[in-house]
């Protein structure tokens, strides 16, 4: 791969509620396909390893990082020299679970990021994350977010201000939210002059129906590649550091942001 270019893949499929072994097997298949197409980083949806289904959210069912059921993920990451980013509930304490991202590579599994913005359907069970996170792959600093995080401009902006040139957004958007899904991802890319990679859950999982829409957006918010609700499916695209630099120099959305807007006044019409 040319210097300054990173090939990424966003993968989507139906998750089987509560069947971690089955979802791990699907992940391995998708990662293998993406690696065959040259991907260095493979992103899968929010909570993919257990399914986005509140009926299976239980502290005892949340994953620990040394669980043997996850071993095939490390094996495929090592064999194919890829970095896998996939959503899962993680048991942080006896009575505390987080809605997290697992990062898997040849060295093993880590869980560097826990979702910070959660709605009521998630907050009753999951503990909110208390920090942002980025990972570094081949010189690229990549911000981490999960679904609803990407609806808030300041989340991706914090990653960009820290040096991120791409932002990963594993997600689970319900059918009917396609317009918001696509708008949020494009806006975060344009806001910050950086790539956004979204991997969306698809199909039925428990009582929910999910819309997929996995995509890669360029630094001006255009979809480079985008899927519909196909399952299973993988989209692959090259990220170009030179394009991030060009867009940021041309548009200044990141550097020209005012840090203090002063006091607002009310100016009545005359």
Q: How much is the pLDDT for 199?
A: 98
Mean pLDDT computed over every residue of the chain: 96
pLDDT classification of 206: cutoffs 50, 70, 90: very high
Q: Give the structural domain span for 21.
A: 5-251
Q: How much is the pLDDT for 252?
A: 83
Q: Is residue 209 part of a domain?
A: yes
The answer to whether the beta carbons of residues 155 and 117 sit under 8 Å apart is yes
- Comparing C-alpha atoms, which of 75, 62, 58, 133 is closest to residue 109? 75
CATH number of the domain within which 27 lies: 3.60.110.10
The answer to whether the beta carbons of residues 172 and 182 sit under 8 Å apart is no
Q: Is residue 221 part of a domain?
A: yes
Mean pLDDT of 76-103: 96
The answer to whether the beta carbons of residues 212 and 230 sit under 8 Å apart is yes
Q: What is the DSSP letter of 127?
A: P
Q: How much is the pLDDT for 3?
A: 80
* Residue 195 host element (H or E): strand 195-200
How far apart are the C-alpha atoms of 204 and 195, rounded to whole Å?
29
Structure token digits, residue 147: 């679904």
pLDDT classification of 21: cutoffs 50, 70, 90: very high
- Comparing C-alpha atoms, which of 123, 131, 146 is closest to residue 46? 146
How far apart are the C-alpha atoms of 219 and 216, rounded to whole Å?
10
Mean pLDDT of 168-196: 97
Q: Is residue 260 part of a domain?
A: no
pTM of the model: 0.95
Number of domains in the chain: 1
Q: Is residue 261 part of a domain?
A: no
Q: Is residue 207 part of a domain?
A: yes
pLDDT classification of 66: cutoffs 50, 70, 90: very high
SS3 category, 170: strand
**131-139: Cβ within 8 A, 24+ apart:** 132/158, 132/159, 132/162, 134/159, 134/162, 134/163, 134/164, 135/83, 135/85, 135/103, 137/6, 137/40, 137/41, 137/83, 138/1, 138/6, 138/40, 139/4, 139/241
Q: How much is the pLDDT for 268?
A: 85
Greatest extent of the chain over all pairs of C-alpha atoms, in Å: 72
Kind of pairing between the strands at 223-226 and 96-105: unpaired
Q: What is the DSSP letter of 14?
A: P
Q: What is the pLDDT of residues 93-143, one digit of tens each?
A: 888 999 999 999 999 999 999 999 999 899 999 999 999 999 999 999 999
SS3 category, 1: coil
Residues 140/141/147/151 CA torsion (nearest 10 deg): -110
How far apart are the C-alpha atoms of 193 and 187, rounded to whole Å?
10
How far apart are the C-alpha atoms of 255 and 35, rounded to whole Å?
35
Q: How much is the pLDDT for 270?
A: 78
Q: What is the pLDDT of residues 227-267, one digit of tens each?
A: 999 999 999 999 999 999 999 999 988 888 888 899 999 98
Q: How much is the pLDDT for 234?
A: 98
Q: Is residue 195 part of a domain?
A: yes
pLDDT tops 90 at residue 212: yes
149 contacts: CB under 8 Å, gap ≥ 6: 115, 116, 117, 155, 169
The string of DSSP codes covering 65-101 is TT-GGGHHHHHHHHHHT-EEEEEEEEEEETTEEEEEE
Q: Is residue 256 part of a domain?
A: no
Mean pLDDT of 180-193: 97
Q: Is residue 268 part of a domain?
A: no
């Amino acid at each position: 791969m040319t210097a300054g270019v990173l090939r990424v893949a966003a993968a989507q499929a139906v998750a089987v509620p509560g069947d971690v072994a089955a979802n791990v097997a699907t992940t391995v298949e998708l990662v293998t396909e993406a690696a065959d197409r040259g991907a260095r980083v493979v992103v899968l949806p929010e909570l993919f390893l257990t399914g986005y289904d509140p009926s299976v959210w239980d502290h005892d069912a949340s994953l620990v990082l040394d669980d043997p059921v996850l071993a095939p993920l490390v094996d495929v990451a090592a064999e194919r020299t890829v970095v896998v980013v996939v959503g899962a509930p993680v048991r942080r304490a006896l009575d505390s679970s987080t809605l997290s991202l697992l990062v898997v590579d040849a060295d093993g599994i880590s869980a560097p990021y826990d979702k910070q913005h959660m709605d009521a359907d998630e907050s009753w069970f999951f503990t909110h994350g208390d920090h942002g996170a980025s990972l570094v792959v081949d010189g690229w600093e990549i911000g981490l977010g999960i679904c609803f995080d990407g609806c808030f401009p300041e989340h991706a902006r914090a990653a960009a201000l820290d040096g991120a040139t791409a932002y990963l957004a594993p997600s689970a958007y319900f059918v009917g939210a396609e317009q918001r899904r696509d708008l949020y991802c494009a806006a975060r890319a344009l806001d910050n002059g950086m790539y956004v990679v979204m991997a969306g859950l698809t199909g039925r999982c428990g009582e929910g129906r999910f819309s997929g829409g996995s995509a890669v957006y360029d630094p001006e918010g255009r979809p480079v590649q985008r899927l519909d609700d196909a399952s299973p499916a993988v989209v692959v695209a090259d990220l170009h550091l030179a394009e991030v630099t060009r867009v940021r120099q041309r548009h200044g959305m990141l550097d020209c942001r005012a840090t203090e807007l002063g006091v607002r006044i009310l100016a009545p019409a005359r």
